[in-house]
Structure formats: C-alpha cells, structure tokens
C-alpha cells in the first residue's frame, strides 16, 4: 500500500532513525576499541551511552503512539558502515584509522542531525508536543557530539605522522643515489 500521509512518513522515518541508532551502538563500541587515544576512546564510549539514552527516548515515542519499536535497516547508516569496511581493506595505519573514524563519526552525526530535524518538523506539524520534546533532546545530543568531534579533529595531528612516514621512505632512496 503506498504511503499517503505525513503520519505514515513520520512512522517510516522514526523506524529509520531507530534502526540507525541500533546499528550505531555496535559501530561506536568498535571505534572505541580501535582507538589508542584515551580521549577519543572515552568520547566514543560516552556517545555510545548517549545513543542508548536516545534509543530509550525513541521507545517512549513508540509507546506514546501505541506502537512497538521495530528495528529494520537504515540504508544511510548501513552505507557508512560499508564504507568503513571497504576502507579497512586498505590496511590503514593506526593514526590514519583514528583520523578516519573521527571523520566517519562526523558523517553519521550529520545524518542523524538531519533525520532528527526532519522528525521534529513533522511532529510539530502533527501537533505532537511531547514527542517534539523527546526528539529535540536527541537532536541536541547529536549536535553536541558533532561539535566535540569537530574539536577533536581540529586538534588531531595526522600530518606529522604522514610526514614522518614520507621522510622514512625518502631516506633510503636518497642514500642509494650517492
């Protein structure tokens, strides 16, 4: 049956973000395990805990709608997870993987922010005041997470590591010319 109403679209998008949040629990734990930087590891684990709280809020929304949450698939987040798996085939250095994970997490945050903004707009149009409040809490947490990731990325010094690798590769070539 074709989707006809904003209510149906809202439910569809709610399921999408619920599925996304479920998928991200595992991804955040994996990124924390891959991290050698304590601050970054702590950041991923803190956001994992926030994600659990966001899932609970989404479950409250489902309950207030008289529905049970259904976790399906979220093609957007699944695509980002697939992208990470493809990147891992390149066997990146630990430093490069760390930098990649920070960027990948920012992509996910932007996806979630857009999804929550859309859900808030729909819930407002539908007069779902209590639901708007729950969605806005999730949205604010996602925005704060993105800002933290941006700060970490700006402080991350991957160029120094890359320069050292380039220098190490150039030295043997220079000595062989002598």
Tens digit of pLDDT at every position of the chain (178 positions): 788 999 999 999 999 999 999 999 989 998 899 888 888 888 899 999 999 999 999 999 999 999 999 878 888 989 998 998 999 899 988 888 888 999 999 999 999 999 999 999 999 999 999 999 999 999 999 999 999 989 888 887 655 544 444 444 444 444 443 3
* pLDDT in the model for residue 16: 95
* pLDDT in the model for residue 158: 58
* pLDDT in the model for residue 176: 40
d(CA 76, CA 61): 22
Q: Give me the residue label for tokens 């529905």.
A: 67
Q: What are the Cα distances from residue 39, in Å, to 20, 28, 35, 133, 142? A: 25, 14, 9, 31, 18
d(CA 112, CA 77): 9
Alpha-carbon 140 to chain mean position: 14
Burial class (CB in 10 A: 0-12, 13-18, 19+), 62: middle
Taking phi over 0 as left and psi of -120 to 50 as alpha, with beta for the rest, 127 belongs to: left
Residue ranges of the domains in the chain?
6-176
CATH code for the domain defined by 6-176: 1.20.1260.10
* pLDDT in the model for residue 165: 47
Contact 101, 41 (CB under 8 A): no
Neighbours of 153 (CB within 10 A): 14
* pLDDT in the model for residue 157: 67
């Amino acid at each position: 049956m074709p989707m006809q109403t904003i209510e149906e679209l809202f439910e569809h998008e709610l399921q999408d973000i619920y599925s996304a949040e479920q998928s991200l629990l595992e991804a955040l734990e994996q990124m924390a395990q891959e991290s050698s930087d304590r601050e970054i590891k702590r950041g991923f684990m803190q956001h994992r805990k926030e994600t659990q709280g966001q899932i609970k809020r989404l479950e409250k929304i489902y309950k207030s709608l008289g529905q049970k949450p259904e976790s399906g698939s979220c093609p957007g987040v699944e695509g980002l997870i697939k992208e990470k798996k493809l990147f891992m085939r390149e066997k990146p250095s630990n430093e490069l993987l760390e930098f990649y994970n920070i960027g990948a997490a920012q992509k996910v945050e932007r996806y979630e922010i857009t999804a929550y903004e859309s859900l808030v707009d729909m819930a407002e149009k539908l007069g779902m005041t209590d639901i708007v409040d729950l969605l806005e809490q999730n949205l604010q947490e996602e925005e704060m997470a993105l800002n933290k990731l941006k700060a970490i990325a700006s402080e991350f010094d991957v160029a120094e590591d890359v320069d050292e690798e380039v220098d190490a590769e150039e030295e043997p070539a220079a000595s062989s010319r002598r």
